[in-house]
Amino acid sequence: MTQADEAPLSEEQLSEVIARYPDRTGDVLSILERLQEMHPLNYLPKETLIRVAEAKRLALSNVFSVVTFYSFFNLCPQGRHTVTVCRGTACHTRGSNLLMNGLRAEIGGVWADGQSSYTTPDHELSVHTVACFGQCAMAPVVAVDHEIYGRMSEMKLRQRVRQLVRKESNDEDS
Amino acid sequence: MKIRDFDALNDIRETGLNKLLRGGPRIGVGMGTCGIGNGAQDVYEAIKTAMDTKGVEARIVPVGCFGYCAAEPLVNVYIPGGPLVILAHVIPDDAPYIVEEIVAGRIPVRKALCRIDAWDHLTGHVTYGHGFQEIPHWDEIPFFRGQKKIVLRNCGLINPEDIEEYIAVGGYFALCNAFQKPSRDEVIDEVQKSKLRGRGGAGYPAGMKWALLQKAVADRKYIICNADEGDPGAYMNRNEIESDPHMLLEGMLIGAYATGAAEGIVYLRAEYPLAVERLEKAAAAAREAGLLGSDILGTPFAFDFRLVEGAGAFVCGEETAMIASLEGRAGRPRPRPPFPAESGLWGKPTNINNVETWCNIPVIIACGGSSFAEIGTSNSTGTKVFSLVGKIKNTGLVEMPLGSALKDIVYGIGEGSPTGKRIKAVQTGGPSGGCIPAMHFDTPVDYESLGTLGAIMGSGGMVVMDEDNCMVDVARYFLEFTHSESCGKCVPCRMGLDESVRLLEKICNGDAEASDVEKLEELMPMIRSMSLCGLGQTAPNPVVTTLRYFRDEYEEHIRTRRCRAGVCEKLYMSPCENSCPLNMRIPAYLQLLKEDRIEEAAEIVWLDNPLPASTGRICQHPCENRCRRADEDAPVNMREVHRYIADSAFAGDLIVRVRERLLENKIPPTGRRAAVVGSGPAGLTAAFYLTMLGHDVTVFEEREEAGGMLRYALPEYRLPKRILNEEIGVLEHIGVRFMYRQSLGAGLALDSLTGEYDAVFLATGTWNETQGGITGENAPDVWHAIAFLEQVARSHRPVIGGNVVVIGGGNAAIDSARTAMRVGAKVTVAYRRERSDMPAITEEIEAAEMEGAEFVFLASPQRVVINEKGRVTGIELRRTRLGDFDASGRRTPVSTAEFFTLPCDAVIMAVGEKPDPDPLRQAGIHVRDNQTAAVHPNTGETNLRGVYAGGDLVSGASNVSSAMATGKAAAHAIDRSLTGKDNMDLVLKTFSFRNIVPAEPEGGDRNVSPVLGVGERRDSFDEVVLGFDAETALQESRRCLRCDVKEQCADREGALKEPVS
Amino acid sequence: MNEQLRLTIDDREITAQANQTILEVARENEIPIPTLCFLEGLSGAGSCRLCLVEVRGVPRFLSSCVTRVSEGMNVTTDSPKLASYRRMILELLLAERNHICAFCVSSGNCELQDLAQELGVTHVNYPYRFPSYDVDASHERFVYDPNRCVMCTRCARACGEVEGAHTWDVMGRGVHSFMITDLNQAWGDSSTCTSCGKCVQACPTGALAEKGRSTGEMKRSAGFLSKLSSMRNCGR
Measured distance CA(B1038)–CA(B997) in Å, rounded: 11
The structural domain count of chain C equals 2
Rounded to the nearest angstrom, the gap between the alpha carbon of residue B762 and the centroid of all alpha carbons in its chain is: 36
Furthest-apart CA pair in chain B: how many Å? Answer: 102
Chains that contact A by 3+ CB pairs under 8 Å? B, C
Contacts of B936 (CB under 8 A, 6+ apart): B942
B33-46 average pLDDT score: 92
A24 located within any domain: yes
Q: In whole angstroms, how far apart are CA B290 and each of B12, B222, B224, B299?
A: 13, 20, 21, 10
* C66 and C166 housed in the same domain: no
Closest CA to B6 of B223, B209, B176, B194: B176
Determine whether domain B573-665+1007-1040 maps to CATH 2.60.40.10: no
Q: How many CB atoms lie within 10 A of CB C41?
A: 21
Give mean pLDDT, residues B222-250.
93
User: Top-level CATH class of B383-571?
Assistant: mainly alpha
Secondary element (H or E) of residue B369: helix B369-373
**B975 vs B759: CA distance, rounded Å:** 9
Distance CA B139, CA B135 (A): 11
A115 touches chain B (CB under 8 A): no
One domain, residues C13 and C49? yes
* DSSP conformation class of C105: T
A9 and A29 within one domain? yes
Task: Among C60, C170, C174, select the one facing B483 at the smallest CB separation.
Answer: C174
Exposed/middle/buried for A136, CB within 10 Å: 0-12, 13-18, 19+?
buried
In what side-by-side order are the strands of the sheet with B854-856?
Answer: B782-784, B906-909, B803-807, B826-830, B854-856
Q: Any CB–CB contact under 8 A between C132 and chain A?
A: no
Query: What is the number of helices (H) and of strands (E) in chain B?
Result: 43, 33
Say yes or no: C57 and C156 in one domain. Answer: no
Q: Do β-strands B854-856 and B859-866 pair in parallel, antiparallel, or remain unpaired?
A: unpaired
Give me the helices (H) in B55-162, please.
95-103
Length of chain C: 236
The CATH number corresponding to B172-373 among 1.10.10.60, 3.90.1640.30, 3.40.50.11540, 3.40.309.10 equals: 3.40.50.11540
Separation between Cα atoms, residue B96 and residue B48, nearest integer Å: 10
Q: What is the enclosing helix (H) or strand (E) of C100?
A: none
Q: Across residues B109-114, what is the average pLDDT?
A: 94
DSSP label at B687? Answer: H
Provide mean pLDDT across the span B168-197. 95
Chain B nearest C-alpha distance from A118 (Å): 16
pLDDT at B1058: 39
The one-letter amino acid at B366: A
Q: Is residue A74 part of a domain?
A: no
Mean model confidence pLDDT for chain B = 92
Q: In what order do the strands lie in the sheet with B75-78?
A: B59-63, B26-30, B75-78, B84-87, B112-116
Judge: B270–A72 Cβ closer than 8 Å, yes or no: yes
Instruction: Give the model confidence (pLDDT) of B584-600 as tens digits.
Output: 999 999 999 999 999 99
Helices then strands, counting H and E runs in chain A, come out as: 7, 5
Smallest CA–CA distance, residue A103 to chain C, in Å, is 25
Read off the CATH number of the domain in which C24 is found: 3.10.20.740
In a domain, C230, yes or no: no
Give dist(CA A146, CA A167) in Å, integer: 17
Query: Which segments of B904-996 are extended strands (E)?
Result: 906-909, 913-914, 947-949
The answer to whether B523 faces chain C, any CB pair under 8 Å, is yes
Q: What is the CATH number of the domain that holds C202?
A: 3.30.70.20
pLDDT over 70 at B1050, yes or no: no
Q: Cβ A59–C173 below 8 Å, yes or no?
A: no
Hey, is B592 helix, strand or coil? helix
| Per-residue 3-state assignment (H helix, E strand, C coil) for B192-242 | HHHCCECCCCCCCEHHHHHHHHHHCCCCCCEEEEEECCCCCCCCHHHHHHH
Q: Which regions in chain A score pLDDT beneath 50?
A: 1-5, 170-174
Mark whether C205 and C150 lie in a shared domain: yes
Average pLDDT over chain C, rounded to whole? 92
φ/ψ bin of B371: left (φ > 0), alpha (ψ from -120 to 50), beta (otherwise):
alpha
Describe the crossing of helices B40-54 and B95-103 by its angle, rounded to 10 degrees: 50
The whole model's pTM is what? 0.88
Domain membership of residue A51 (yes or no) is yes
C115 with C153, same domain: the answer is yes
User: For domain B6-148, which architecture applies?
Assistant: 3-Layer(aba) Sandwich (3.40)
Would you call B501 an interface residue with chain C, using a CB distance cutoff of 8 Å?
no
Nearest CA in chain C to B488: C174
Q: A120 and A165 share a domain?
A: yes
Residues spanned by the domain of C111:
103-222
Average the pLDDT over B60-69 and give the result. Answer: 94
Residues B167 and C57: their CA atoms lie apart, in Å, by 47
**Closest alpha carbon within chain C to A66:** C171
Top pLDDT among A14 and B364 is at B364
Does B336 reach chain C within 8 Å, measured CB to CB? no
**Domain closes at, from A69, A90, A118:** A69
C17 and C63 fall within a common domain: yes
Poorest-pLDDT segment among B551-565, B726-740, B877-891, C27-41: B877-891
Searching chain C, which residue's CA lies closest to the CA of residue A47?
C183
Short-list B715, B800, B644, CA closest to B1022? B715
Residues C150 and C206 in one domain: yes
pLDDT digits (tens, 9 = 90+) for B1020-1030: 899 999 999 99
Q: Which CATH superfamily is domain B668-767+919-990 in?
A: FAD/NAD(P)-binding domain (3.50.50.60)
Distance CA B903, CA B803 (A): 8
What Rg, from alpha-carbon coordinates, does chain A have?
18
User: Does an H or E element contain B426, and which?
Assistant: strand B423-428
Query: B288 Cβ partners below 8 Å, 6+ apart?
Result: B1, B2
d(CA C195, CA C180): 15
DSSP, collapsed to helix, strand or coil, labels residue C62 as strand
Q: How many domains does chain A have?
A: 2
pLDDT in tens, B644-680: 999 999 999 999 999 999 999 999 999 999 999 999 9
Percent helix / strand / coil, chain C, rounded to 5: 30, 15, 55
How far off is chain C from A71, nearest CA to CA, in Å? 9
Q: What is the pLDDT of residues B752-807, one digit of tens each?
A: 999 999 999 999 999 988 877 888 888 888 999 999 999 998 886 767 879 999 99
Higher pLDDT, B56 or B357: B357
Instruction: Tell me the DSSP string of B707-770.
Output: -THHHHTS-TTTS-HHHHHHHHHHHHHHT-EEE-S-EETBEE-HHHHHHH-SEEEE-----EEP
Do the Cβ atoms of C192 and A59 come within 8 Å? yes
C-alpha–C-alpha distance, residues C112 and C122, integer Å? 13
pLDDT digit string, tens, across residues B270-323: 888 999 999 999 999 999 999 999 999 999 999 998 999 988 899 999 999 999
Residues linked to residue B697 through DSSP beta bridges, in sequence order: B674
The CA distances from residue B850 to B390, B621, B853, B920, in Å, are: 35, 22, 7, 42
Q: Domain of residue A55: give its range.
A: 3-69
Residues of A in contact with C165 (CB under 8 A): 59
Q: Chain C residues with CB inside 8 Å of B496's CB?
A: 88, 92
pLDDT in tens, B872-884: 999 999 999 988 8
Those residues whose C-beta lies under 8 Å from the C-beta of residue B721, and which sit 6 or more positions away, are B707, B711
Neighbouring residues of B500: CB distance < 8 A, sequence distance ≥ 6:
B479, B483, B520, B523, B524, B527, B540, B543
Identify the top-confidence range among B34-43, B692-701, B889-898.
Answer: B692-701
Tell me if A128 is assigned to some domain: yes
Show which of A18, A49, A69 is a domain's final residue.
A69
Residue A32 lies in a domain: yes
pLDDT in tens, C192-225: 999 999 999 999 999 999 998 887 787 887 777 7
C229–chain B Cβ distance below 8 A for any pair: no
No. of H helices and E strands in chain C? 6, 9
Same domain for A64 and A89, yes or no, is no
State the count of interchain CB pairs (< 8 A) between A and B.
176
pLDDT at position B1048 is 52
B327 CB burial (10 A radius; 0-12, 13-18, 19+): middle
Q: Search chain A and give the residue with CA nearest C177.
A: A69
- What would the mean pLDDT of B945-966 be, rounded to a whole number? 94
- Give how far Cα B315 sits from Cα of A69, B485, B488, Å: 11, 6, 10
Q: What span, in angstroms and rounded, lies between the C-alpha atoms of B167 and B20? A: 11
**What is chain B's length?**
1061
The tally of CA atoms less than 13 A away on the side-chain side of residue B482 is: 34
Q: Which residues of B151-165 are buried (b: 16+ CB within 10 A; e: fewer)?
A: bbbbbbbbbbbbbbb
| Residue % of chain B over a pLDDT of 90 | 81
Q: How far apart are CA C173 and CA B316, in angstroms?
A: 12
Whether residues A47 and A121 share a domain: the answer is no
Work out the pLDDT band at B1059, boundaries 50, 70, 90: very low
CB B234 within 8 A of CB B272: no
CA gap B489, B532 in Å, rounded: 8
Chain C neighbours, 3+ Cβ pairs < 8 A: A, B
What is the 3-class SS of B859-876, one letter each residue?
EEEEEEEECCCCCEEEEE
Contacting residues of B for A159, CB less than 8 Å apart:
1000
Residues in contact with A110: Cβ distance below 8 Å, sequence separation at least 6, in sequence order = A104, A118
Do residue A35 and residue A119 come from a single domain? no
Are B53 and B100 within 8 A, CB to CB?
Answer: no
Domain ranges of chain B: 6-148, 172-373, 383-571, 573-665+1007-1040, 668-767+919-990, 768-914
CB B82 within 8 A of CB B30: no
Is pLDDT of B385 > 80?
A: yes
Q: What is the CATH number of the domain that holds A129?
A: 3.40.30.10
* Pair B488, C173: CB distance under 8 Å: yes
In this structure, are A126 and A54 located in the same domain?
no
Which chains contact B through at least 3 pairs of Cβ atoms less than 8 Å apart?
A, C
Is B668-767+919-990 the same fold as B573-665+1007-1040?
no
Q: What is the ipTM of this complex?
A: 0.96
**Nearest CA-CA partner of B718 in B993, B1012, B362:** B1012
CATH class name, domain B768-914: alpha beta
Q: Check: CB of residue B938 under 8 Å from CB of residue B560.
A: yes
C92 to chain A, any CB pair closer than 8 A? The answer is: no
- Alpha carbon of residue B357 to chain centroid: 30
Chain C nearest C-alpha distance from B403 (Å): 25
Average pLDDT of the residues in B552-565: 92
> What per-residue confidence (pLDDT) applies to A119?
87
Q: Give me the pLDDT at residue B888, please.
A: 74
Same domain, C217 and C110: yes
Q: What pLDDT shows up at residue A102?
A: 84
For residue C45, which amino acid is it? A
